[in-house]
Amino acid sequence: MTERRMLHAARNAARTAVLDAWAVVMPTDCSGCGTPDRALCAACLCALRAAPRAAYRDDLAVWSALDYSGVVGRVLVAYKDGGRTDAAPALAAALREAVAAALTAAAPADPTQITGGIVLVTVPSSRRAWRVRGFHPVDLLLRRAGLRGRRLLRPSGSVADQVGLGRQQRLDNRSGSLVASRPLAGSRILLVDDIVTTGATLLEAARAIRQAGGEVVGAATVAETRRLHPDTHRSRKSD
Ligand SMILES: [Zn+2]
């Protein structure tokens, strides 16, 4: 064994020992695959590497970093609803890539400033979700990514649970459910959310922003259900 290899092996052994010791203090398993005693294993970290892509929900360009399936789906659910905030750094890195891609598409003239005068706005959690989780998953990811999300939208009434509803039912259910908390004339806004499926939530957020006089330049999410919505991708060149 060469000296370099021995050093590498020793480092790996030390790292494993540290992880094992940590697992005794805080027993856990990989939230992506269940490998014991690891927060996120190397293979699942790899699956969380961002590959930003734009999809459309009506006229709204939504940039998502990841495909919401397999490891990505399990890690996101564990982060949002399983208290697995140890996944926040990896998810935040992915969201940052999606935000950067959306901003580049929206403001190509000003690539030096990451927000370039565009305000990042997150979609509010339902009261129930807030009660259960005690934190806002997207706000936390933006903070981890070194970005600032503003809460310029609030629920305007009660909304039934979206689970089990089809696209049109979701749109009907959400319509009028959000309202801007102040006039937004002159504001350019990028909506930020965790997952886009039918797009009902983001489209309602966009409607509420426009109603208050704001301009919506697009949206960015951590993940998208790409398999379920294969027809929403189109080349930006053909726009
Ligand atoms: Zn794993």
Structure tokens at 16: 């494993």
Pairing of strands 188-196, 178-180: unpaired
Amino acid letter, residue 161: D
| Centre of ligand 1 from the C-alpha of residue 82, in Å | 16
| Centre of ligand 1 from the C-alpha of residue 43, in Å | 6
Instruction: In whole angstroms, give the CA distance from residue 56 to residue 238.
Output: 13
Among 117, 156, 144, 142, CA closest to 220: 142
Quick: pLDDT tens for 131-157: 888 889 999 999 999 999 999 999 987
* Mean pLDDT of the 75-82 span: 94
What CATH number was assigned to the domain covering residues 49-238? 3.40.50
Burial code (b: 16+ CB inside 10 Å, e: under 16) for 102-132 equals: bbebbbeeeeeebbbebbbbbbbbeeeeeee
Return the pLDDT at 116. Answer: 56
Q: Which residue has the higher pLDDT, 197 or 166?
A: 197
| Centre of ligand 1 from the C-alpha of residue 171, in Å | 35
* Mean pLDDT of the 76-105 span: 94
| Centre of ligand 1 from the C-alpha of residue 25, in Å | 20
| Centre of ligand 1 from the C-alpha of residue 191, in Å | 30
**Quick one: which H or E segment has residue 99?**
helix 88-106
| Centre of ligand 1 from the C-alpha of residue 224, in Å | 20
What are the residue boundaries of the structural domains of the chain, listed by start? 49-238
Name the pLDDT band for 18 (thresholds 50, 70, 90).
low
